[in-house]
Amino acid sequence: MVLTLGILADTPRAATGMAIVNHNLTIQLVREFGNEMRIIYFARFEAEKGVAPDSSVFSGYEMVPCEGGVWKPEVVQDIIQKYRVNIVYSEDDWWSMKGLILGTKRMGVPLYFMSPIDSLPIQREALDLFKHCRIVFVPNQSYKYIPNGRYLPHAVDWLTFKPNRPKAFQKFTFLWIGRDEKRKALGRTIMAFERIYNKIDCGLVIRANWGATPMSRATDKYIKMRKLPIIQDRMANCSHDYLSYVYSSCHAYICSSKAGACEMGILEAQACGLPVLTTDWTFMCENIVHGKTGFLIPIDGYDIQRKPKEGGVTGKGRIWGNISVDKLAEKMIYLAENPKRSWKMGFNGLEHVRKNYNWRDIAFDFYEAIMNDYQNLYRKRGG
């Protein structure tokens, strides 16, 4: 019997981390195991309602449009029934997985889950939900705190993300990419730059969601009020080739996030030959070799997340780390004053990513984990 693996994820046309991860994982699974298993990507936000009656081909794999929003148990059941899915895998925030659990339980199909745990401690509510999964994949070392957890890092397509253009600026230029939100701590990068740009000839490019939120509008106002020589690039959906072009145009990358499960920008920037500055806080510190591919900047304080006003549990108790503005400024000056050393660190980062973060190895680890577990489950059921 040929097994069918259903991958329930965001539409692969989206620029979200979850879409990028699952799109690349599916491509590699089909390439390596497409003759052994039917692999179907069930794409959330591709249909107005329910599950499409037919599949189509997208980027070399089979895709089925599904309705958007949190996975409903009825939609999960419909997926399993219509397409005879034997194994369900999905990546989502843990507080959005109840529909996946109910749908797979009703159909008697095992659920494998990837959770982007971005900070500790892991909430009790999350651990209770994880008990209903066969394996919980996590892209950082927090998997050790989940009884059925397994480490499965993210990766980068280094055939796309690579140095692909000369530097666009004569002076040493830093790059920051992301939404201007509390977790990303863009303000700390701006404050560090504000302290050094008059001391050393350097630049800063910020690619963000300018004007889309009150916070981004306030940041824009501050930059203009202070007359800071910052290049503001508007973030929008774009091809990865173009994003690689953006990375390659600059000399170093800054990730000032207070927390993150696996910040894709860190891997992508290194793949494009840029040294990276990020915090030494969990789990931001896992993808940088301090002093070799970039620098881990100490934190100078903590944020403890409160329970949301809506009554949810998504943020309660999590501890975020605030990158030190002073220490960040120091390392920015070091890289700008030592361009040859900076280039070498960027080259080391490129080698580091190509050696340790490739989708083929991750697809093999994923496939081996679920197949070994599924076969053990099948034997226990008397199959």
DSSP strands (E only) in the chain: 3-10, 37-47, 56-58, 61-67, 87-91, 111-114, 135-138, 149-151, 172-177, 202-208, 230-234, 252-255, 276-279, 294-297, 299-304, 319-323
Residue 55: exposure state from Cβ atoms within 10 A (0-12, 13-18, ≥19): middle
Positive or negative: CA dihedral 294, 296, 300, 301: positive
Q: Residue 191: in which H helix or E strand, if any?
A: helix 186-196
Is the peptide bond prior to 283 cis by the omega test (within 30 degrees of 0)? yes
What values do phi and psi take at 63, rounded to 5? -130, 140
Alpha-carbon gap, residue 98 to 350, rounded angstroms: 39
Alpha-carbon gap, residue 283 to 321, rounded angstroms: 10
Alpha-carbon gap, residue 265 to 177, rounded angstroms: 7
Please state the rounded mean pLDDT for residues 48-56: 97
pLDDT for res 138: 98
Tens-digit pLDDT profile for residues 189-233: 999 999 999 999 999 999 999 999 999 999 999 999 999 999 999
Is the peptide bond prior to 229 cis by the omega test (within 30 degrees of 0)? no
pLDDT at 93 over 80: yes
pLDDT at 247 over 90: yes
Better pLDDT: 379 or 87: 87
pLDDT for res 316: 67
345: confidence class by pLDDT, cuts 50, 70, 90: very high
Within 10 angstroms of residue 56's Cβ, the number of other Cβ atoms is 11
Average pLDDT along the chain: 95
Using alpha carbons, select from 184, 349, 185, 181 the residue that is nearest to residue 251.
Answer: 349
pLDDT for res 220: 98
Instruction: Name 223's Cβ contacts closer than 8 Å, sequence gap at least 6.
Output: 190, 230, 232
Do you know the residue count of the chain?
383
Domain 3-155+358-380 superfamily per CATH: Glycogen Phosphorylase B; (3.40.50.2000)
311: confidence class by pLDDT, cuts 50, 70, 90: very low
Alpha-carbon gap, residue 383 to 255, rounded angstroms: 49
Which residues in the chain are classed under CATH 3.40.50.2000? 3-155+358-380, 172-356
4 bridge partner residues: 38
Tens-digit pLDDT profile for residues 261-302: 999 999 999 999 999 999 999 999 999 999 999 999 999 999
305: confidence class by pLDDT, cuts 50, 70, 90: confident
| Total-model pTM | 0.94
Measured in whole angstroms, how far is the alpha carbon of residue 63 from the centre of its chain? Answer: 22
Alpha-carbon gap, residue 8 to 96, rounded angstroms: 13
Please state the rounded mean pLDDT for residues 79-98: 96
CATH class of domain segment(s) 172-356? alpha beta
